Structure 1
Amino acid sequence: MKLPSTKPYLIRAIYEWCNECGYTPLLSVKAIPQADFPADKIQNGEIIFNIHDSAVHNLIIGNDIISFSARFGGVAKQIAFPTEAVNGIFAREVNQGVSFPENDLTGEKEVTDKLNANKKNKLVKSSDQTKPDKKGRANLHLVK
């Protein structure tokens, strides 16, 4: 029997630590071709995601897949990638966290299968998704 990876548990622990301390959790992820990452945000084969509550919606840090929705250049995008692609998680303000040793991801077919299963299972419930913006002018109200 294969032991489960400790990586997702450590990611969740550092994420919660950042939130409790008021820090901004940043997630370093290896850019893999199977994931639909914004190409202009990839640098040196990796992408850094701000996963603070105010930056992402519907964040799910699962044992196999991490998924969330975020805005890139004003355009909402659903992001999903295998937990194995995470290089590290750290707090922006104090630059402390955990980095993981670089290892090869499971076979390309397995990664693709996990991402496709995520899309089919719709880890994000339709009731949790953001509602489309109403067309027309925005209204501001004075609150006292």
Structure 2
Amino acid sequence: MTSNRPYLLRAFYDWIVDNQCTPHLVVNAEFPGAVIPTQFVQDGQIVLNISPSAVAQFNMDNTELSFNARFSGQPMRVEVPIKAVLAIYARENGEGTVFTAEEDEVFEGDDVEIQEIDTSTSQSQEEPKTKKKASHLRVIK
């Protein structure tokens, strides 16, 4: 069987957007093939806002997700291998799921701290704000 991770990511993305929330990805920034803004990497991870209002040309297939976004006012093409995605959650309430790095199994991460970086496409030259937020992630089987 193929990996269930890309299917779960698409489902959670659609569910979060359909509920008028902001989808965020936690990405392993050290994963081979990840093209991300390295200046925002903290502890080997980066959190990316992938809401439709924050990104352009968003594409997610079974091997990679990609989009265009602005980081500190600078445009960038972001490419993330699906296996580099560690979690997807809604910024507003922490609902989402966490994936293990080694396997495509979902696990509970109630005490995971997630650092948030806003990648909105606004023309603002402000630096992205970083804050810690405890997640409310649940086991999905």
TM-score w.r.t. structure 2 length?
0.69
Q: Aligned ranges for residues 99-138 of structure 1 at < 5 Å?
A: 99-103=98-102
How far apart are residue 6 of structure 1 and its match?
Answer: 0.4
Q: Is the 8 A contact 2:83 2:101 kept in 1?
A: no
User: Larger C-alpha radius of gyration, 1 or 2?
Assistant: 1
Moved over 2 A (4+): 32-36
Distance in 1 separating the partners of 2:12 and 2:75 = 26
Q: Aligned ranges for residues 23-38 of structure 1 at < 5 Å?
A: 23-32=21-30, 34-38=33-37
Distance in 2 separating the partners of 1:57 and 1:94 = 24
If each structure's helix is expressed as a fraction of its own residues, which one has the higher value?
1
Look up the match of 2:119: none
Equivalent residue pairs, number:
102
Counterpart amino acid of 2:48?
Answer: F
Look up the match of 2:11: 13
How far apart are residue 37 of structure 1 and its match?
Answer: 1.6
TM-score w.r.t. structure 1 length?
0.68
If each structure's strand is expressed as a fraction of its own residues, which one has the higher value?
2
Structure 1: stretches of 5+ with no match in the other structure: 105-144
Structure 2: stretches of 5+ with no match in the other structure: 104-141
The alignment yields a C-alpha RMSD, in angstroms, of 1.2
Counterpart amino acid of 2:20?
Answer: G
Look up the match of 1:57: 56
| Percent of matched pairs sharing the same residue | 39
Where 1:70 maps in the other structure, the secondary structure is: strand
How far apart are residue 34 of structure 1 and its match?
Answer: 3.3
Look up the match of 1:128: none
